[in-house]
Structure formats: structure tokens, C-alpha cells
Structure 1
Amino acid sequence: MRISELAEATGVPVHTLKFYLREGVLQPGRATSRTSADYDDEHVERVRLVRALVEHGGVALSGVRDIVVALTSPPPSRHDLLGAAAAVIPTPAPREAVDPEVTALLEELGWCAWSGAPALGALSDAVAAARAAGVPLDAGTLRRYAEGMALVAEADVDLALAARGPAEAMRIVVVGTVLGDPVLVALRRLAQEAVSSRRQREATPEGP
């Protein structure tokens, strides 16, 4: 298909597709002349991936480029790919040193985390910010959150282990994490409403 047909198939304007090509997040098509190229279903899939990462995952194009490279060169080990995925998933750089309380929590849970892991610093910063804003995020509540996320992680790893190969597993881990985070946030909101409604019913005396 021509680039105009690729635009029609993906709903992405031609000028945006050309921008993706210049930025290296969309692989070149098969040249048919000096000024034109042919595109196929792999290009359609890549455009949809880039669009999802940018529009729904909030990933900058530089981050998308890193993700695309990781997807094309996945490590053979399913465990190693988790590390490779963590390296390309956008995570805010920590502003402060990791709080010893956070490190102690991970040790208590038996979680083995690299001391320089971006998520470790991000967690420490997030806890500090929440407390500074008056959120009573004590150690017990933080542990309950962590235990809940362990169940989410089990589901994530199960999906990766069930993949047909390293490339598919890498896509599941990277793209699933970036685009799965909004799913988890939405589920949290719905669960909050459900739990609040249930507890209100339990606390309300029944009529005669």
C-alpha cells in the first residue's frame, strides 16, 4: 500500500506518518521509486503501536524509539526481558535519595530490587509527596498496597511466560505495562466506589 493508504488504514495523517519515519519510530517501506515506497501490514501494526504509546501511554517519541528498539532485539531469557523492559519504560527520575523505609519494606516483602532501579526512586518520591500533601500513607497501608500489586505482577508475569517467543513476551511486558497502567487506575476507581458502597450498606441499619 502507498503511504496515503497507510494513513487511511490507521487513521493517522500522512504528515504524521512522515514525521514517524523521520524520527525512526516507523520502519521505512520498500522503495518502489526515488520518491515513493510500499507499506504492508507490519507498518499498520507499528503505526497503531506508536499511536497507542503516544496518545494513551503518554510516551514521548524518544521513549517510543527506545521501546521499538527493545521490541526488535529482545533478550532470550524471560526474566532478563523484564529488566530490559524496565529500562525503556518511562519512569520519572528520582529527585531525592531512596527513603530507607521504602528499602526496608522491600526487604520485608522479600522483593529483590536493584538499588538503582528507577521505580525504586520513583516510589520513594511518590510516598514522600503523598505524605507532604497530608495523605496518611503509613507503613501498614503501604504494605497493603504492595501486597495488592504483587497480585498484579503475578498476572503480568503469567502473560509474559505464556507468550510464544521472546519478541511477543517483550511486547506484552513493555506495551502491556505502559498501556496497562491506565487500566489499573480505572479499576482502582471502580473498586473504590464498590467498596465504599458495600461498607455504606453494611453500616446502615436495615429497616423493620
Structure 2
Amino acid sequence: MRLAELSERSGVSTATIKYYLREGLLPAGRRVTATQAEYDEEHLRRLRLVRALIQVGGITVSSAREVLATLQDEGLDHNERLGTAVWALPHGPAPAADDPVADEAARRAGELVRRLGWGHGEDLAEAPAYGMLVGAIAALTRLGYPCAVEDLEPYGRAMGDIAGSDLDLVERYGGSADEQVEAAVALTVLYEPVLLSLRRLAEAEESRRRFTGK
């Protein structure tokens, strides 16, 4: 397909596609003349991923380039590519290293992860999401809200179930190993608003049941 068709099918303007090509977010098309190139389904799939990362995930072009480079690294296995790509997604700020409240929050996070049986403690502690968890626990602590390990553990177990559903969805999505890893990264970004909205709807429903008896 030519650039105009790629734009029409993807919903991305030709100017934006050309920008993505210049920035290395999209592979070059097959040159057919000095001024024209042809594109295929791989370009269409990559455009969908780039849109998910930048427009929905709100990550920078440089971060998107880092994620895409990881997805293309054939030296990494399926799990490593997915893990490294997800690590490159934006996360909240980690707490200051010399904050005593953060030190206690890190202890709780470590105990929570141990109870959940998630991964290797030292490796997991390097994950950006782990730092974000520590920062969230520290903020709850400062404000005096419940955040003991016992309070957090049910959420962790629920997230474990959701992670299983995430990867079930990716496997049903089908395609090659490369396509599945790309889909996993895209769905990590695209499903976060779904999870947030469902949680708020569920809380409204639970509140109605508990406090109105209806």
C-alpha cells in the first residue's frame, strides 16, 4: 500500500507517519520510485503500537524508540523482551533514597512481594513499577491511611489474576511471537484506563449495595 492508504487505514496523518519514519519509530517502506515507497501490514501493526504508546500511554518519542528497539532485539527471549519493554514505559517518581518513611515503605513492599511469591526480590526491586509502589506506600503512610502488608496483599493477589487475564488475551490475539510481544505492550497501555474505570464502577456498585441496601 502507498502512504495515503496507510494513513487512511491507520487513522494517522501522512505528516505524522513521515515524522515517525524520520524518528525511527517506523521501518522504511519498500522503495518503488525515487519519491514513493510501499508499506505492508507490518507497518500498519507498528503504527497501532506507536499510537498506543505515544497518544494513549503519553510516553515521549525517545521512550517509544527505546521500547521498540527492545521489541526488535533478537538477543532477548520472549519474556525478556516483554519485561524490558514494559520497564521502559513511564512510571511515577521513585521516593528519595534518604527518606525514612520511604525506607519503611520499601520494607513493606519487599514483604508484600515475598508473600505474593513474585520473582526474584533483588531483580524485582530494580523495576520502575517497584519504585512506584514504594512511593505510593510512602504517600499513604504520611497521610495516615491503611497500607499495611495485610491491607495490600488482597490487591496484589487480584493483580496476579488480572496479569493472567492479560496474557491469556495476548495468546488469544494470536500471531507470531513478535506480534504477541507487541500486543502485550500495547495492551498494557490500553487496558490501564479500562482497569481504572472498572474499579471505580465496581466501587460505586459495592457502595450502593452496602450503604443503601438495594
Normalising by structure 2, what TM-score? 0.80
Q: Who is 1:68 aligned against?
A: 68
Contact 1:29 1:37 in 2 (8 A): yes
Instruction: Tell me how far 1:48 sits from its aligned partner.
Output: 2.2
> Cα RMSD between the aligned structures?
2.6
| 1:169-188 to 2 correspondences below 5 Å | 169-188=180-199
Instruction: Tell me how far 1:17 sits from its aligned partner.
Output: 1.2
Contact 1:67 1:88 in 2 (8 A): yes
Q: Who is 1:156 aligned against?
A: 166
Greater shift, 138-147 or 192-201, is seen at: 138-147
Contact 2:49 2:182 in 1 (8 A): no
Determine if the alignment matches structure 1 residue 111 to structure 2 residue 118. yes
Determine if the alignment matches structure 1 residue 191 to structure 2 residue 202. yes
Contact 1:74 1:166 in 2 (8 A): no
Secondary structure of 1:199's counterpart equals helix
Unaligned ranges ≥5, structure 1: none
Distance 1:159 1:79 in 2: 16
Map Cα deviations across residues 163-208 of structure 1 (whole Å, 9 max, x no partner): 5543233123322212221111111111111111111233x7xxxx
| 1:127-142 to 2 correspondences below 5 Å | 127-142=137-152
| 1:1-208 to 2 correspondences below 5 Å | 1-73=1-73, 77-97=77-97, 99-112=106-119, 113=121, 114=123, 115-160=125-170, 165-202=176-213
Q: When the two structures are aligned, how many residues end up with a matched partner? A: 203
Tell me: CA distance 1:15–1:168, structure 2 relative to 1, closer, same or farther (3 Å). Answer: closer
Contact 1:74 1:170 in 2 (8 A): no
Q: Identity percentage over the alignment?
A: 38
Distance 1:20 1:45 in 2: 14
Tell me: CA distance 1:2–1:82, structure 2 relative to 1, closer, same or farther (3 Å). Answer: closer
Contact 2:95 2:134 in 1 (8 A): no
Normalising by structure 1, what TM-score? 0.82
Give the residue type in structure 2 aligned to 1:91: H
